[in-house]
């Protein structure tokens, strides 16, 4: 699957109402650690059909970042059945993310 660009307009349907678990990456283009996390997240999106991957650009979607209490980036959030099961700031490696998505 491709990475889904998440906005306040599609967040409800793509994340809260998703029939699959979804990994949400809150990021900014200028953020160094986000640039390290990005390729990992994109690789996971292409290689896995059991979950979805979405990205929120915090500069463009400040309202979403505020709603979910994102104070630092990158912040990864996992949502399963409409519930947040994980939310932490910092870069995670591929294996750690795969463990969260099980």
**Catalytic site residue from 3, 31, 91, 98:** 31
Q: Are 6 and 56 in contact (CB under 8 A)?
A: yes
Other Cβ atoms less than 10 A from the Cβ of 85: the count is 12
Does the annotation count 34 as an active-site position?
A: yes
Q: From residue 86, give the alpha-carbon distance in Å to each of 9, 29, 30, 59.
A: 23, 23, 24, 22
**Catalytic site residue from 34, 45, 76, 97:** 34
Does the annotation count 31 as an active-site position?
A: yes
Catalytic site residues? 31, 34
């Amino acid at each position: 699957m491709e990475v889904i660009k998440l906005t306040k307009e599609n967040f409800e349907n793509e994340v809260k109402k998703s029939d699959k678990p979804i990994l949400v990456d809150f990021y900014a283009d200028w953020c160094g650690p986000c640039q390290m996390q990005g390729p990992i997240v994109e690789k996971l999106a292409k290689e896995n059909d059991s979950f979805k991957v979405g990205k929120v650009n915090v500069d463009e979607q400040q309202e979403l970042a505020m709603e979910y209490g994102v104070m630092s980036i990158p912040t990864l959030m996992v949502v399963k059945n409409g519930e947040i099961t994980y939310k932490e700031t910092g870069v995670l490696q591929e294996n750690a993310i795969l463990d969260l998505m099980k």
